[in-house]
Structure 1
């Protein structure tokens, strides 16, 4: 996947509906691939395929054994890693997404794991103005993905 420039990395996404929706959004936004873990996360099942509305036929999905090593490999090859975290200091609109970009979306309940956060170049958050603390993983992914698109249009 080194010839790619825009990837989404999913850290322990468990719901196949979220996986499918994220793949659909990434494909619609012109991203090049999605990286998922082989264990402890949803895989491309018929449910995920249906939720993607066919996007799994067009989107490269890489299943990796060790997400931290995969991130290190991507960084060695020129990618900038942007993790999402509700406690980040910067909002997602306050950073520049240029060059080779990887967006990390975390687990539906626990977010991005601490080890993965430590390996990110940037942590960003989405403003949450209501009483709910976070968005659904696929909704959060869509917000960040389309900010990357907006900045690079």
Structure 2
């Protein structure tokens, strides 16, 4: 078996303009006070890769256009829809009113272990990721349908936010893999 690396033109990726008009997964990301611009850029890039509907940038989370975000987003800040809100909780309330089931990704009592999470493909979902030090605000957790926790086995108690987004999205989007 030969494993020749594919050239970019062989990947058949859609253009930024095509991305804006094609069907997206019914999943949005809410960034709750993310301080690292590199993390924000990475979330844009991962959201583009999984064809998510939107990113909500809340609180101190930086917004495009921004050179530091662009470094890691590699242009995904132009393809993925986004919206800024000074406060996270009103975004959560609006998403719930629009039929989204909101999950905070956080270590919390009664959290769901990620490997047991399977979201039905007939729903809409919002995944909230919190500040690199403080995590998701308690008031946001209080208004979530539940918390999702990534199992960990080492000495550290958390992943980098951009790594968490990638891990969680891979598990969550698996039921949709044949959609596109």
What TM-score do the two structures reach when normalised by structure 1?
Answer: 0.91
8 Å CA contact 1:4–1:33 kept in 2: the answer is no
Structure of greater relative contact order (alpha carbons < 8 Å, 6+ residues apart): 1
1:51 corresponding residue in structure 2:
72
1:104 to 128, 137, 140: 128
Q: Distance in 1 between matches of 2:78 and 2:48?
A: 10
Q: Which has the larger Rg?
A: 2
CA RMSD of aligned residues (A): 1.5
Q: Deviations over 1:68-118 (max 9, x none)?
A: 111111111110111111234321222332310111111111110101111
Matches within 5 A, 1:1-153: 5-37=26-58, 39-44=59-64, 45-88=66-109, 89-98=111-120, 99-153=123-177
Distance apart, 1:4 and its partner CA: 7.1
Q: Deviations over 1:26-50 (max 9, x none)?
A: 110111110012x422222111012
Segments of structure 1 that go 5 or more residues without pairing to the other structure are: none
Q: Distance in 2 between matches of 1:62 and 1:150?
A: 26
Runs of 4+ in 1 over 6 A off after TM superposition: none
What is the number of residues matched between the two proteins?
Answer: 150
Distance apart, 1:152 and its partner CA: 2.5
8 Å CA contact 1:92–1:124 kept in 2: the answer is yes
Segments of structure 2 that go 5 or more residues without pairing to the other structure are: 1-23
